[in-house]
Amino acid sequence: MALRTPSKQATHLPYVLGEFAANGPFRAIILMFSVLTCPQKSIPIIYVKGFAMDWEKIRKFVKVEDDNDPKVHEVIYIIMREFVDRDKHWICAARRIHDKRNIGVISLGEGSISEDLEELKNKDLPIPTYLTKLPSVLTGPDVFEFLEW
């Protein structure tokens, strides 16, 4: 009987139990030992420098109290669709570093993504004039922990 090659699925108990059923207890014990003793690779934290779409400022701008008010979402939509040059300045989900709160961020474009927090904080990136002309609904520029596009 041929032994199956462990894969990324080897970390799952059902896979180990399948190994036990297919190849016997010895192979399953070795597999479980290798899973438990392998060093785990950590995923690097990626940072983005840009402007945050500040929900508190947006609420004040449209004179509402609730984040879920349609007026708040309409302003966010208008910012994303009408004001941001998305070919140069990407929009992403990010997290504030100081309070870990999730927030939408308009990046400062090329060179605004890095794994080195201090380098990015000190990096002098040009700020597009259209971002400074938006009504006061943005916060930044600042560095945020990147989450996803």
Domain total in the chain: 2
Q: What pLDDT was estimated at residue 43?
A: 76
Using pLDDT thresholds of 50, 70 and 90, give the confidence band for residue 1.
very low
Residue 31 confidence (pLDDT) above 90: no
Q: What pLDDT was estimated at residue 145?
A: 94
Per-residue pLDDT tens over the stretch 52-85: 998 899 999 999 999 889 999 998 888 888 888 8
Q: Which helix (H) or strand (E) holds 112?
A: none
In a domain, 143, yes or no: yes
Domain that holds residue 22: 9-37
**Are 68 and 15 contained in the same domain?**
no
In a domain, 4, yes or no: no
**Are 130 and 71 contained in the same domain?**
yes
For residues 10-38, average pLDDT: 51
Rounded-to-integer distance, Cα 124 and Cα 138, Å? 19
Q: What pLDDT was estimated at residue 140?
A: 86
Q: What pLDDT was estimated at residue 26?
A: 54
In a domain, 75, yes or no: yes
**Are 24 and 63 contained in the same domain?**
no
Q: What pLDDT was estimated at residue 83?
A: 86
CB under 8 Å to 143, separation ≥6 — which residues?
47, 48, 49, 97, 117, 120, 121
Q: What pLDDT was estimated at residue 116?
A: 93
**Are 53 and 73 contained in the same domain?**
yes
**Are 14 and 70 contained in the same domain?**
no
**Are 19 and 84 contained in the same domain?**
no
**Are 70 and 138 contained in the same domain?**
yes
**Are 144 and 71 contained in the same domain?**
yes
For residues 19-43, average pLDDT: 56
**Are 24 and 97 contained in the same domain?**
no
- Given the structure tokens 């945020």, which residue do they identify? 144
Q: What pLDDT was estimated at residue 23?
A: 55
